Structure 1
């Protein structure tokens, strides 16, 4: 199996989602893909340990995609070798009453990674320009000045919100957060198959919600708004990667490999050097412990 080239998945110019395949039709075996993933996640785990000691950068991994696109299982499989102290996962669902008392980005700010850690947003701040565009009535819950009804939510409102998101990402990048955003590009037919499996497999019944079918009816709207959001917020410092996701195993490997390769650009991430005086006295410290 060929090595993954992150540039092939990175959005560097306006894209049409309809023109991008949802499956690479890679002929690699399941064992081959698992072996590749296993190797990369071990390297990522070791890197995170060094990052923790270096204590200069945080890493924000943003995962977006339609229901059943594989975000949850990817988190489980890609990051399972991490030290638990070094990775935190946040899933942003319907804002609660406390969150609605703040601006829409507040709950995302407070979940940003500490220096030396990874944070994974499973659904992200982009819900605020995706779900809310399909269901603009949700905006009314934010109690914003000058917006009393859906008719007052204009195109300028959405453009301003995406500019605010760009500024949010610019701000956190300039302050030491490395940002990578992944869109899980799945076909509507593949989603149908995965929803059916949830209904047919008893142990997966808990994953099914009738709301999944309701949102599926708005598939075309979601694709339209995903495409617009990606095109308006893909920046060099906070890039989007479009990941073919009909094959979950391949999608996991691609994401892991992209993260690994992108992190190699940060050549300053190294374990801190001990003070020379401390190193010179190692023998004394060892002798002190041996005599206890």
Structure 2
């Protein structure tokens, strides 16, 4: 299990490069065994989820970022399918609303954080503010930021401050009990093409495809550069990025589930121990119930 974490965790962000990560890697696993492996991982995670809730000390924030058709939705559905829905919160972030744009770029994400004892899943996240906006800097003009009156004002110093804001935001969260896992689902451009064609061919999936997807695909190189820079700037010891190979969806799910499970194990969770007085009350209640 630990080799999965060591394989995909970004530990040296200064030397990080997406080119060093194989999108089709499967760690020797076979697709035929995937369902049983995933089921076992989910069952273990379910037990730890209960302990997370009972301990009420930590929350877990899981962030999913990827290019279109990388499999974020299906990964979330499969890896979290066996957990207690009462202890999970899933947010999918679309384009910011007018209200969102009247606040700082982290506002709507802060409002969607999981409470203690819960698991929060952010399908896209505050990282869109250094990804989509990096490729389309004109979008930043909608934020009405001081001293940003045109695209020319969005320079290297601007991005450095925004990365710093993200690091500080995540440092604040982890210092207050929110454990953060950040997944980048690393799909190849060739595999994206295959999945796009399947969406077009399947009437039930036409709704998932937009002509704008082709325009964004044309900016693939810009997006890869934006992802690489964002990961280099924000993968820290307490808020690490994991680069998950996404060309084989079945293995993507195994890798994600393994990392979630191992992260929960690392918290060394325990059920609360009742004070002596409360334990004595339980003993009295037991006697009364047995007498009924």
Indicate the RMSD between aligned Cα atoms, in angstroms.
1.5
Does the CA contact (< 8 Å) of 1:4 and 1:257 recur in 2? no
CA deviation vs aligned residue, 1:49-88 (integer Å, no higher than 9, x gap): 1111100000010111000101100111111111111110
The residue that corresponds to 1:234 in the other structure is 235
How far apart, CA to CA, are the structure 1 residues paired with 2:26 and 2:266? 29
More off after superposition, 197-206 vs 181-190: 197-206
CA deviation vs aligned residue, 1:74-121 (integer Å, no higher than 9, x gap): 111111111111110111111001111110000111111100000011
- What is the Cα deviation at residue 211 of structure 1? 1.2
How far apart, CA to CA, are the structure 1 residues paired with 2:55 and 2:73? 29
Q: Which has the higher helix share?
A: 2
- What is the Cα deviation at residue 4 of structure 1? 4.5
List runs of 5+ in structure 1 lacking aligned partners.
Answer: none
The two structures have a TM-score, normalised by structure 2, of 0.95
The residue that corresponds to 1:161 in the other structure is 162
The residue that corresponds to 1:273 in the other structure is 273
How far apart, CA to CA, are the structure 2 residues paired with 1:283 and 1:82? 32
- What is the Cα deviation at residue 3 of structure 1? 6.8
User: What is the 5 A alignment of 1:166-181?
Assistant: 166-181=167-182
How far apart, CA to CA, are the structure 2 residues paired with 1:11 and 1:95? 29
List runs of 5+ in structure 2 lacking aligned partners.
Answer: none
User: What is the 5 A alignment of 1:257-272?
Assistant: 257-267=258-268, 269-272=269-272
**Residue 147 in structure 1 maps to residue 143 in structure 2:** no
- What is the Cα deviation at residue 291 of structure 1? 5.4
SS at match of 1:145: coil
The residue that corresponds to 1:66 in the other structure is 67
How far apart, CA to CA, are the structure 2 residues paired with 1:121 and 1:289? 45
Seen in structure 2, the aligned counterparts of structure 1 residues 245 and 281 have a Cα distance that, compared at 3 Å, is same
User: What is the 5 A alignment of 1:181-200?
Assistant: 181-200=182-201
User: What is the 5 A alignment of 1:216-235?
Assistant: 216-235=217-236
- What is the Cα deviation at residue 204 of structure 1? 1.2
CA deviation vs aligned residue, 1:172-199 (integer Å, no higher than 9, x gap): 0000000111111110000000000001
SS at match of 1:264: helix
How far apart, CA to CA, are the structure 2 residues paired with 1:30 and 1:152? 50
How far apart, CA to CA, are the structure 1 residues paired with 2:115 and 2:219? 37
The residue that corresponds to 1:9 in the other structure is 8
User: What is the 5 A alignment of 1:240-255?
Assistant: 240-255=241-256
Does the CA contact (< 8 Å) of 1:4 and 1:254 recur in 2? no
The residue that corresponds to 2:77 in the other structure is 76
CA deviation vs aligned residue, 1:200-258 (integer Å, no higher than 9, x gap): 11221121111111110000000011001101111000001101110011011001101
